Every structure is written in C-alpha cells, then in structure tokens.
Amino acid sequence: MPYRLRHCYTLPREPKAMKTSDFSYNLPPELIAQTPVEPRDRSRLMVLNCNKSSIEHRRFSEIADYLRTGDVLVFNDSRVIPARLKGRKVDSGGRVELLLLRQLDNAVWEALVKPAKRVGIGTRIEINDSSMAGSARVRAEITGQGQNGIKVVSFSDERLLPQLGEIPLPPYIQTPLTEPERYQSVYARVSGSVAAPTAGLHFTPELLAQIEKMGVQCLFVTLHIGLDTFRPVREADPLKHPIHKEYGTLSPEVAAELSRAKREGRRIICVGTTTVRILEAAAQRQASLIEPLEDWVSLFILPGYHFRAASALITNFHLPRSTLLMLAAAFAGKDFIISAYEEAIARKYRFYSFGDAMLIL
C-alpha cells in the first residue's frame, strides 16, 4: 500500500476553537499502573484503525500482526538519568531534594527544588553518599530563579551526579521500583531524559528480533524528555499553553533512510509521541524530505495538524489535559480518541507509564 501523508483533520483557515476541557476524562485511580507487566510484551494493546473507525483488543506481543515488510519503526533511544538528588543545606542542615530537568551548561542545570519556598538564590547544598568509597560529595548552589518554581543550580562536580542520584518516577507511581532498568527501554543508550519514553517499554529483544526478521526496518532517534511532558495544560485555550522544549538528535544517516522510505511509499511508524515530535520537527520545511536535526524541539501538535512524516503511532494512555493526549487526538481524531479511552476504562486497561499500549493506524 503506498504511503500517504497522514491527517485525520485538515487544518482549516479559521480553526475551530478548542478547549482544554475537551481533552479531559475521569480515570478510576485503581487503573493507574503502579508496577510494570512481566514480561514487557504481555501488556495489552488497543488497536485503532482510523479508516474503519474500528477498535481491536490484543496483546503487545501480537503487534507484528499489524506490521509488514518495508515498514519503518522509529524509536527514541533516550535513557533516563538518575535525576533525583537528596542533600542538606550547608548552613542549617535542612533536607533538600532536587529534580534535574535540563542542562544549561557544564555543571549547570535547571531543577525543581523542594521545599521551594525555603531554598532561595545563594543557598548551598551538600549532596553525598556515605555508603560509597571515599564518601563521595558534591556541592550545589542555587544561582538563579526560573519560571514555575524552577531553580538554576550550579554543581561543583557533575561527574559524580549519576552515582549520587536516583531514577525518578512520575508522581502518580507510588510503589517503589525494585529494578531501575525496568523504567528504561531495552534499547535506551543516550542518557539525558528525566522521564522514560514509555511507548518503548513494551518491546523485548525477542520481539525486536522477530520484527526485524519480517523485513521491518528499525531506526533510532534521540529526544530527551523533560518533566513538562507530564504537566497538564492549565490554560482554558490550549493554544496559549507554552510548550516545553526538549533536546533532540536525528542523524543524517537516519534522515536519509526516512526520506527514502517516504519516496518509496513505505509506512513510518513512530514508537511514542516524542518520536513523532522530532520527526515532524525535522519535516517542517519540506513534506517530502526529513532533514537531519540536532536542536531544541518545541513543536506543539494539536488536532488540525497535518502530519508530514508519521503514518502510524504506538503510544501509551496519557494523562487528561496533557499535550501528549492532544497529540494522540491530532493523530486519530479527538472524538475517536476520547471514545477509545472510555472503552479502555470500561475494559480496565492499565494507564500511564507502566500501563498498556495503543496502536493507531
């Protein structure tokens, strides 16, 4: 089947006004997955066919049934860093917790700091781990104030941060994770995210090998995920929401392969919304060409967006009023997505990072 530029909606000259409340739904708390399914590919898979307006219910291990020779699967290989740091104020000994968000310069990061109100500019913090040989220690200082409570933090030696930090989990996961690697995809290799690109958590090495044996091409891009990914849109008009920036890399070799796939009419299937964002950002100048990219990505995809690169999407079930849900709605249509979420709730699918998956065709 020839490749077609995907758009469930064509962007009109005067777009119909959207409201953030259009992307709300009520989720019973018990459907928020607290632990991952074992093995990874035993999670459930909801398959949405946009052309037929149909929904199927499968297991993720059966996803190969919807793939064909010549398809291109694109993965985000970003790896979650140990971004949660615990320390004490140098002057008072008070406990402080930092969550690294984005690196600004060598040893300089944007971070969320708790308790925020009692940690101002000039505050010095000592982060150590006495269980390590030599009692590893790093000094941090609050050197700036950003928006929404974000601080700028300078570290004395950032080389020790991976040893001193912990892998952060989203706030809706309350159960401790016994195996930190379970919050990484099996192909994660480029460190930089503070949250996992969770659509990839369902793949196993065996499933990837099966897919490649079918003649499906697997390509990798990198987009480092920030905390803003999980923040709900608070403005009534989503167009007024300041979209978060994430740093990404799409190599010339991968760009050439993707552009060739488009010319040959092959499907480009994105694993995760972050993969969609970087591919679409790389395809903004020419619909027939995906260009190399190494830059900040701040593309906000809403219903009405005309997709230039992606023809299918593998994703998880997202938070209400989130930019991720809005992107999925742009892909499948808002009404179709909301009805699919309602069916997922009725059938007790598991939601969010450790939850089940959705394939949109």
CA distance 7 to 156: 49
pLDDT value at residue 135: 65
- Give the other-Cβ count within 10 Å of 310's Cβ: 23
343-360 per-position pLDDT tens digit:
999 999 999 999 999 999
115 upstream amide cis, omega within 30 of 0: yes
Is 33 a domain residue? yes
Do 97 and 73 have their domain in common? Answer: no
Is 3 a domain residue? no
Do 293 and 223 have their domain in common? Answer: yes
User: Given phi > 0 = left and psi -120 to 50 = alpha, else beta, which region is 76?
Assistant: beta
Do 132 and 227 have their domain in common? Answer: no
With beta carbons less than 8 A apart as the criterion, state whether 21 and 236 touch. Answer: yes
Do 43 and 185 have their domain in common? Answer: yes
Is 349 a domain residue? yes
Do 145 and 221 have their domain in common? Answer: no
> Beta partners for 95?
88
Q: Looking at residues 175-184, what average pLDDT do you find?
A: 92
CA neighbor of 108 nearest in space, from 83, 143, 137, 145 = 143
Angle 122-127-131 (CA atoms, 0-180°, nearest 5)? 165
User: Given phi > 0 = left and psi -120 to 50 = alpha, else beta, which region is 168?
Assistant: beta
End residue of a domain, out of 143, 164, 185: 164
Do 250 and 332 have their domain in common? Answer: yes
Handedness of CA 257, 262, 263, 264 (dihedral sign): positive
User: Given phi > 0 = left and psi -120 to 50 = alpha, else beta, which region is 261?
Assistant: alpha
Tokens 């993720």 belong to which residue? 60
Do 273 and 327 have their domain in common? Answer: yes
Do 230 and 278 have their domain in common? Answer: yes
End residue of a domain, out of 164, 187, 205: 164
CA distance 282 to 291: 5
Is 352 a domain residue? yes
Task: Report the CATH number at residue 264.
Answer: 3.40.1780.10
Do 336 and 220 have their domain in common? Answer: yes
Whether the per-residue pLDDT at 86 is higher than 60: the answer is yes
Is 4 a domain residue? no
End residue of a domain, out of 117, 142, 164: 164
Angle 31-174-32 (CA atoms, 0-180°, nearest 5)? 10
* Type of residue found at 299: L
User: Given phi > 0 = left and psi -120 to 50 = alpha, else beta, which region is 104?
Assistant: alpha
Whether the per-residue pLDDT at 8 is higher than 50: the answer is no
pLDDT value at residue 232: 80
The listed range with the strongest mean pLDDT (117-121, 169-173, 315-319) is 315-319
Number of domains in the chain: 2
* Type of residue found at 279: L
* Type of residue found at 83: A
Do 283 and 238 have their domain in common? Answer: yes
Query: What would the two tokens of residue 87 be?
Result: 């320390």
pTM of the predicted model as reported, rounded to 2 decimal places: 0.88
CA distance 211 to 52: 25
State the chain's mean pLDDT as an integer: 89
Q: What are phi and psi of 72, to 5 degrees?
A: -120, 120
Do 95 and 228 have their domain in common? Answer: no
CA distance 320 to 26: 8
Is 335 a domain residue? yes
CA distance 44 to 349: 7
215-265 per-position pLDDT tens digit:
999 999 999 998 766 678 888 888 888 877 889 999 999 999 999 999 999
Is 7 a domain residue? no
CA neighbor of 248 nearest in space, from 228, 229, 264, 224 = 224
Task: Report the CATH number at residue 100.
Answer: 2.40.10.240
pLDDT-derived band at 10 (thresholds 50, 70, 90) equals very low
Q: What is the dihedral of CA 20, 45, 186, 79, to 10 degrees?
A: 0
Is 10 a domain residue? no
Q: Tell me which residue range forms the domain holding 136.
A: 84-164
Do 247 and 308 have their domain in common? Answer: yes
Percent composition of the chain: helix, strand, coil (DSSP 3-state, to 5): 25, 30, 45
